[in-house]
Amino acid sequence: MISKDSRIYIAGHRGMVGSAVWDLLLANGYSNLLGRNSQDIDLKNQLETEYFFASEKPIVVIDAAAKVGGIMANKDHPYQFLMENMRIQNNLIEYALENDCKKFIFLGSSCIYPKLSPQPIKESYLLSSQLESTNEGYALAKITGVKACEYIRRQFGKDYNSLMPTNLYGPKDNFDSETSHVLPAMLTKFHQAKMNDHENVTLWGTGFPKREFLHVDDLAKAVLFALENKLPENLYNIGTGEEISISDLALMIQEIVGHKGQILWDSQKPDGTPRKLLDVSKMTALGWSAKIKLKDGIKSTYQWYLENSYNLKQVKINT
């Protein structure tokens, strides 16, 4: 039984997802959280990870540690995205099992699903057809993690779960315009263009693809829900059930930032998957659902960006 003083290890506790989970658990009375910086433990190293588990003996592991990046980073470095993520998750899963952890929550991504999945995407569509090539390495790594947790549930009867969030955004995201995901990259581009006399902004692709976006605080609440309940299956989609075109997202972010220039589209750059809307009915039937509206979430994320990420003078967000 998990209690408020159970030893809970949050791998990747300094990242966007891990820090949101950490803060939420603390706010809900969990008092024995374990976190280690990359300088303290290299999760890609078997010996270091094995020693940590043997000495600290966590009862719960929340795996929010991963090598992540946008389309170009995944496209240019597929080997690193495959191997580094497999090393991290394999070590965590193996030594959690070896040290009799009672619960393991594995966090992945909706990119595990086929490129041309029927919409909305059900958990059962996993491995039904070809993946999106631009992030195949990362997706394959996460699929192996999902399957490892599934096999452990089946073979050893452990309470292991895999939560697959849709596109995430929020405080502590990566806002680098070249290596980040689409939403934080747009925030950076529109802000920088605004600061440069509202110069035009060029965005990748056609703007036609549709995406679903989830605030990281809603994901943290899904993790808390999984922690406090014994979910009957391994794999659950975590999303809003709502989608928006990339072009409409650009217009929304442009309005929030207050950029007055033009938006140009570079159709020679890849669009990625045409649509990627998750079917979240399994999780909502159990009692969890997303609460943060996209526009509200982007406003608060942009304010965080101004106040924290770049140490810029605070400005009033357009309403």
- List the binding residues for NADP(+): 12-18, 107-110, 142, 165-168, 181
> What are φ and ψ of residue 80, in 5° steps?
-65, -40
Q: Which is catalytic among the residues 9, 30, 138, 169?
A: 138
Could you write out the DSSP letters of every residue in the chain?
---TTS-EEEETTTSHHHHHHHHHHHHTT---EE---TTT--TT-HHHHHHHHHHH--SEEEE-------HHHHHH-HHHHHHHHHHHHHHHHHHHHHTT-SEEEEE--GGGS-TT--SSBPGGGTTSSPPPGGGHHHHHHHHHHHHHHHHHHHHH--EEEEEEE-EEE-TT----TTTS-HHHHHHHHHHHHHHTTT--EEEES-S--EE-EEEHHHHHHHHHHHHHS--SSSEEEES-S--EEHHHHHHHHHHHHT--S-EEEETTS----SEE-B--HHHHHHT------HHHHHHHHHHHIIIIIS-PPP-PPP-
Annotated binding site: 12-18, 107-110, 142, 165-168, 181, 189, 204, 211, 271
Nearest in space to 216 (alpha carbons), one of 254, 250, 183, 176:
183
Query: Residue 114 burial by CB count (10 A; 0-12/13-18/19+): exposed, middle or buried?
Result: middle
| 265 token code pair | 């589209």
51 is an active site residue? no
Known binding-site positions for substrate: 189, 204, 211, 271
Q: Give me the sign of the Cα torsion angle 131, 136, 140, 141.
A: negative
- 293: how many CB neighbours lie within 10 A of its CB? 12
Catalytic residues: 138
